[in-house]
Amino acid sequence: MPTAQAPPAARAPKPHQRIDRVAIRFAGDSGDGMQLTGTKFTESTALAGNDLSTLPDFPAEIRAPAGTLAGVSGFQIHFSSTDVRTPADQPDVLVAMNPAALKANLGDVRPGGMVIINSDAFSDKSLERAGYQDDPLPDARERFRLVEIPLTRLTFEALADLNLSQREGARSKNFFALGLMYWLYGRPLESTLRWIASRFSGEIAEANRRVLMAGIHFGETSELFPVSFEVPPAKIEPGLYRNITGNTALAWGAVAASVQMERPLFVGAYPITPASDVLHELAKHRHFGIRTFQAEDEIAAAAAAIGAAFAGQLALTVTSGPGFLLKQEALNLAVMTELPIVAVDVQRAGPSTGMPTKTEQADLLMTIHGRSSDSPVPVLAPATPGECFSVMIEAFRIAVKYMTPVVVLSDGYLANSAEPWKIPALETLPRTPVVYHSEREDFSPYRRVPDTLARPWAIPGTPGLEHRIGGIEKQDVSGNVSYLPANHQRMTDLRHEKVERIAAEFPPLEPRGAGSGRLLVVGWGGTHGAIATAVDEARAAGREVAHLHLRQLNPLPRDLGAVLARFERVLVPELNAGQLVRILRDRYLVPAQSYSKVQGQPFHVSELRAAIDRALEA
Amino acid sequence: MAEPVAGAPAALTRKDFESDQEVRWCPGCGDYSVLANIQRVLPEFGIPRENFVFVSGIGCSSRFPYYMNTYGFHTIHGRAPAFATGIKLARPELSVWVVTGDGDGLSIGGNHLLHAIRRNVDLQIMLFNNRIYGLTKGQFSPTSRLGMKNKSIPMGVIDHPVDPIGFALGAGATFVARVIDVDAVGLQEVLRRAYAHRGTAFIEILQNCPVFNDGEWQALEDRRTRADAGLPLEHGKPLVFGAKGRRRGIRIEHGVPHVVELADDADPVAAGVTVHDERVERPAYAFSLASLTPPDFPTPTGVLRAVERPSYDRLLEEQVATARQQRGPGDLRALLHSGDTWTVE
Ligand SMILES: Cc1ncc(C[n+]2csc(CCOP(=O)(O)OP(=O)(O)O)c2C)c(N)n1
Ligand code: SF4
């Protein structure tokens, strides 16, 4: 039995009903604190022992005009007493703080679901600002269980004897919504109360606490809620858990790599959504010897990281698509000079600025093929927020072992969504202390280790190993400048062969569901949860389908061709216009079908279910 | 400047700094002289050869690291200051030198040069200014003079040139010097000073490209004209130039320079000639020196500015040390367990 650290919230004398799972979406103006509300609800839900998955969805504008559709910010959480792999296609409950939030989100809510609104925010003026011609509420009352609560007024009532301005008071109203939802789903309160006490002080802390409690009492006493719900804890693998987002996991994975490899970490970065939080997180940990360097642009960030790698540090550069593009020339130098750095691309939607806060996985071909000339680089992709941690350790290990830059492809969805993560015991993490080359005898900067083809990592300060490297083609072994035709052929082949050899280490592929059969769904990266859920559902409905999720995109696993050949059909769902599917067709000559979605949003399970059925029928 | 290393290394000579690579600049290229003088000066610093790193961008001069028997990194066009920054931040104990050209450093790499200088990273940056793109065979560069005709603008340059010294001062440089490629004595002295400086030492090297822009600095290089064309700077000494019989000085008044005629035996200071002070904190004085350009003025050479400001690498090390003092060394377990956790049994 999971034991929550905090006692459950005060229970109403009302009956409670057991349910298996529920998805709630909090939506409001970007100034309404919806991300915070969602995050606090998530933490509390994790402490209640449920499995969960979240989807924050916020506008790129920092403060779009209040009350408009452009300014709506949302946070969805799906939690359950069984396995949860996606934030859910449709919320069962929508909390809408204003008409714009209602308008932007109502269409997603499960028919018959619960819609809680702040009725104080539904003035004629704000309806108009949200673009409503007619009052949407009569219709909503028919299609949903609409709960209208004068949330602003109740908030002010709870604060009546405090000395707060109108504005300060109004800021607390998201805590009312949070409190109400805590009551409705029996969430533990204590960690939120502790957080309020540590984060705010004086009257503001008191206000937030009171409004939170007012929300709870409202649930207990109001006739609007005849029952509350209970979602029993999930039966998940025993262990110590915490919540983690992909971005935090990427940062901590880099810290762990540095600790386990016993070398300081250098981080070159330039702010860009949705990757900046990785820099922010790493910047907090100077005491680990981490040197974060906010460079003048992404080119300099990559260049400084490569410089640090030349000097012997574990080097990381973190960015999103547009920044990755700028780094490509520097990465090409790392390919030529065979230096170990890890370059993370937290992908976002669209070419150019596109939709910076929305997710996509359309940088695959760019990272594999987007440098000038033939320039092989290993590319890894985590499948879940938690996996972002282990993939970073793996990326650094490969980078150093093979002396190569390594790309890690995360995405905007993994970056911000949270899931419970079993904290790994340190003993289970690979421990591979870095050893630099120091042997003078027979030293040549491009004399390779026979099995990995890695060149020696000989760092400045080592006597007797002085050498020069650069982007000009190298003579095999000596590393001197060479323009000889046959040498260029050989070096090009060696660079390819070195990267291909990494695949010898990959574990055998094991499709989920079946090893052979009618249909194999092949995915990669952050779509794992949605695909796995859809495939499980399809199998439960008797469909002959299996799921293979690739963590290694370059080199591809050696058994991939054989696995693909064991299925009659292959379906490749991707949040791009069809990129992995091209690679698979090209490489294995299989008639793989693409299922593509480019809306800045993750896959819905229902879409994938339908795509699977279509692929089986066709 | 690099930290002195405990235990005096065996005395090194110029030969120790020559690599086994054949030097491949055109005959008569100004780069040869700079290479030779660097190789002569480095042994004086008393640090082991393996603690030097030469980092360059792309261009003729950027081939420099291949010829130095030290650690070397020939990087990509314009970005050498960023690579060098990474090296220095990773390993502050190394002596890191940047070699760049006027195109490399001020065109494609202007941004990185600006930021390395303003951060005051402890680097020696040598910008070889031949006022032309050498490696790509003779297009104009951002320092080419207005009206100069060449391959990529046969009717003459119409973009206003950037002055490397003014650029460096504008970026907040703590050490700024200018030297002439063939002036061995001046070059060596500036290299020594640059090495001793803690922070970015920016050196403009006036370099002749006999193939694509021959004679650009001739007035300063030629024995017959250099006394009149140049103004050698010396801290604490008046700004005096000119051959015997044409002795003159520079008076800087409210930031505006004037030429003062001097009799051969006149006391320049009494005549109102400005005394060179490289340590003036405010950059206005150094800007006045930078504004001395032909044909109305001689070209100042030597150290224009040398002031103290903490270097970026040192400040970063201090942050790491402070963080460790306050929080102890990093503890991975504590990090992973920070915040809310719960146990599933
Ligand atoms: C990204 C990129 N663009 C262009 C070039 C071509 N290129 C090489 S060197 C150079 C100009 C070098 O001029 P300068 O810095 O003045 O050096 P010099 O050759 O005169 O010493 C150019 C444009 C390149 N190597 N890389
Ligand atoms: S082209 Fe000019 S700068 Fe380049 S090596 Fe020849 S002489 Fe020197």
Of the CA atoms within 13 Å of residue B92, those in its CB half-sphere come to 16
Core vs surface per residue A437-449: b (16+ CB within 10 A) or e? beeeeebbbbebe
Give bridge partners of residue B180 from the DSSP assignment.
Answer: B206
What integer pLDDT is reported at residue B345 of this predicted model?
82
CB contacts of B85 in chain A (<8 Å) are 293, 295, 300, 303-304, 307
Q: Is A316 on the interface with B (CB under 8 A)?
A: no
Q: Is A444 on the interface with B (CB under 8 A)?
A: no
Cα–Cα distance between A414 and A383 in angstroms, integer?
8
Which of B136, B150, B214 is the best mutation target for the ligand 1 pocket, counting ligand atoms within 8 Å of the beta carbon and taking the most?
B136
CB contacts of B70 in chain A (<8 Å) are 466
CB contacts of A262 in chain B (<8 Å) are none
Q: Greatest CA separation found in chain B? A: 97
Cα–Cα distance between B18 and A80 in angstroms, integer?
70
CB contacts of B56 in chain A (<8 Å) are 470
Given a cut of 60, is residue A10 above it in pLDDT? no
Return the residue of B nearest to A50 by Cα: B344
Query: Mean of the pLDDT values across residues A412-432?
Result: 95
Beta strands A239-245 and B342-344, pairing class: antiparallel
Instruction: Return the percentage of chain A with pLDDT > 90, whole number.
Output: 92
Q: What is the pLDDT of residues A595-618, one digit of tens each?
A: 999 999 999 999 999 999 999 997
Cα–Cα distance between A68 and A102 in angstroms, integer?
11
Core vs surface per residue A337-367: b (16+ CB within 10 A) or e? bbbbbbbbbbbbbeeeebbbbbbbbbbbebb
| pLDDT interval class at A1 (50, 70, 90) | very low
Run of H or E including A74: strand A72-80
Q: Do B53 and A465 touch (CB under 8 A)?
A: no
Range with the lowest mean pLDDT among A195-204, A281-290, A461-470? A195-204
**CA-based torsion, A423, A426, A428, A430: positive or negative:** positive
- C-alpha distances in Å from residue A305, one per residue of A308, B82, B176: 5, 9, 27
What integer pLDDT is reported at residue A169 of this predicted model?
87
| pLDDT interval class at A6 (50, 70, 90) | very low
Closest residue by Cα to atom 23, ligand 1, is B136
| φ and ψ of B131, to 5 deg | 55, 35
Ligand 1 centroid to Cα of residue B80, in Å, is 12
Cα–Cα distance between A399 and A305 in angstroms, integer?
13
Question: Tokens for B293?
Answer: 């350009």
CB contacts of A313 in chain B (<8 Å) are 90-91
Return the residue of A nearest to B333 by Cα: A426
| pLDDT interval class at A7 (50, 70, 90) | very low
* Alpha-helix runs per DSSP H in A130-245: 137-143, 151-158, 166-171, 173-184, 190-199, 202-221
In degrees, to the nearest 5, what angle opens at C-alpha A297 toward C-alphas A296 and A298? Answer: 140
| φ and ψ of B124, to 5 deg | -100, 120
Whether ligand 1 lies within 6 angstroms of the CB of B109 is answered as: no
Give bridge partners of residue A239 from the DSSP assignment.
Answer: B344
Q: Is A320 on the interface with B (CB under 8 A)?
A: no
Q: Do A423 and B49 touch (CB under 8 A)?
A: no
- C-alpha distances in Å from residue A238, one per residue of A2, A82, A235, A294, B341: 8, 14, 8, 40, 13
What integer pLDDT is reported at residue B344 of this predicted model?
87
The closest of A396, A362, A406, A405 to A524, measured between CA atoms, is: A362
Q: Are A545 and A616 in contact (CB under 8 A)?
A: yes
Return the residue of B nearest to A190 by Cα: B340
Please report the atom of ligand 2 found closest to the CA of residue B26. 6
Q: Per-10-residue mean pLDDT for chain B, 345 residues long?
A: 55 94 96 98 96 98 97 98 98 98 98 98 98 97 97 97 98 98 97 98 98 97 96 98 96 96 96 98 97 97 98 98 97 95 88
Return the residue of A nearest to B326 by Cα: A287
Convert A100-124 into a string of H (helix), E (strand) and C (coil).
HHHHHHHHHCCCCCEEEEEHHHCCH
B82, B94, B319: residue with CB nearest A311: B94
Q: What is the pLDDT of residues A378-405, one digit of tens each?
A: 999 999 999 999 999 999 999 999 999 9
Query: Mean of the pLDDT values across residues A82-106?
Result: 96
Q: What is the pLDDT of residues A477-513, one digit of tens each?
A: 999 999 999 999 999 999 999 999 999 999 999 999 9
Which of B104, B129, B207, B212 is the best mutation target for the ligand 2 pocket, counting ligand atoms within 8 Å of the beta carbon and taking the most?
B212
Core vs surface per residue A170-185: b (16+ CB within 10 A) or e? bbbbbbbbbbbbbbbb
Cα–Cα distance between B90 and B76 in angstroms, integer?
20
Given a cut of 70, is residue A557 above it in pLDDT? yes
Q: Do B72 and A256 touch (CB under 8 A)?
A: no
Closest residue by Cα to atom 8, ligand 2, is B29
Cα–Cα distance between A277 and A222 in angstroms, integer?
41
Whether ligand 1 lies within 6 angstroms of the CB of B129 is answered as: no
ipTM beyond cut 0.85: yes
What integer pLDDT is reported at residue B9 of this predicted model?
55
Closest-CA distance of chain B to residue A112, Å: 34
Burial class (CB in 10 A: 0-12, 13-18, 19+), B282: exposed
Give bridge partners of residue B342 from the DSSP assignment.
Answer: A241
Whether ligand 1 lies within 6 angstroms of the CB of B12 is answered as: no
Q: Do A2 and B345 touch (CB under 8 A)?
A: yes
Closest-CA distance of chain A to residue B137, Å: 18
- Report DSSP state, residue B237: S
Q: Is A2 on the interface with B (CB under 8 A)?
A: yes
Sole residue written with tokens 């504005």: A167
What integer pLDDT is reported at residue B3 of this predicted model?
57
| Pocket lined around ligand 2, Cβ cut-off 6 Å | B 25-26, 29, 31, 60, 130, 134, 209-212
Q: Tell me whether the omega of the peptide bond preceding residue A555 falls within 30 degrees of 0, making it cis.
A: yes
CB contacts of A305 in chain B (<8 Å) are 86
Given a cut of 50, is residue A315 above it in pLDDT? yes
What integer pLDDT is reported at residue A12 of this predicted model?
46
Question: What is the layout of strands, in order, in the sheet containing A567-574?
Answer: A545-550, A517-524, A567-574, A593-596
What integer pLDDT is reported at residue A4 of this predicted model?
36
Q: Which of the ligands is closest to the CA of residue B136?
A: 1
- C-alpha distances in Å from residue A8, one per residue of A45, A183, A207, A325, A395: 11, 10, 22, 49, 41
A330, A426, A471: residue with CB nearest B333: A426
CB contacts of B69 in chain A (<8 Å) are 466
Please report the atom of ligand 2 found closest to the CA of residue B128. 3
CB contacts of A249 in chain B (<8 Å) are none
Closest-CA distance of chain A to residue B140, Å: 24
Those residues with Cβ within 8 angstroms of residue A257's Cβ, 6 or more apart along the chain or in another chain: A265, A314, A392, A393, A395, A396, A397
Cα–Cα distance between B199 and B120 in angstroms, integer?
5
| φ and ψ of B130, to 5 deg | -110, 10
Q: Which of residues 164-193 of A touch B (CB under 8 A)?
A: 191
Cα–Cα distance between B224 and B240 in angstroms, integer?
17
Please report the atom of ligand 2 found closest to the CA of residue B130. 3
Cα–Cα distance between A524 and A573 in angstroms, integer?
9
Cα–Cα distance between A382 and A523 in angstroms, integer?
11
Task: Say what angle helices A202-221 and A173-184 make with each other, to 10 degrees.
Answer: 40
Q: Do B343 and A239 touch (CB under 8 A)?
A: yes
Closest-CA distance of chain B to residue A318, Å: 15
What integer pLDDT is reported at residue A5 of this predicted model?
40
Whether ligand 1 lies within 6 angstroms of the CB of B58 is answered as: yes
Question: Tokens for A602?
Answer: 């993750």
Q: Greatest CA separation found in chain A? A: 85
What would you report as the CA-atom Rg of chain B, rounded to the nearest whole angstrom? 23
Q: Is A427 on the interface with B (CB under 8 A)?
A: no
Give bridge partners of residue A184 from the DSSP assignment.
Answer: none
Cα–Cα distance between A353 and A409 in angstroms, integer?
18
Q: Are A27 and A104 in contact (CB under 8 A)?
A: yes
Q: Is A472 on the interface with B (CB under 8 A)?
A: yes
Cα–Cα distance between A247 and A388 in angstroms, integer?
8
B69, B90, B345: residue with CB nearest A3: B345
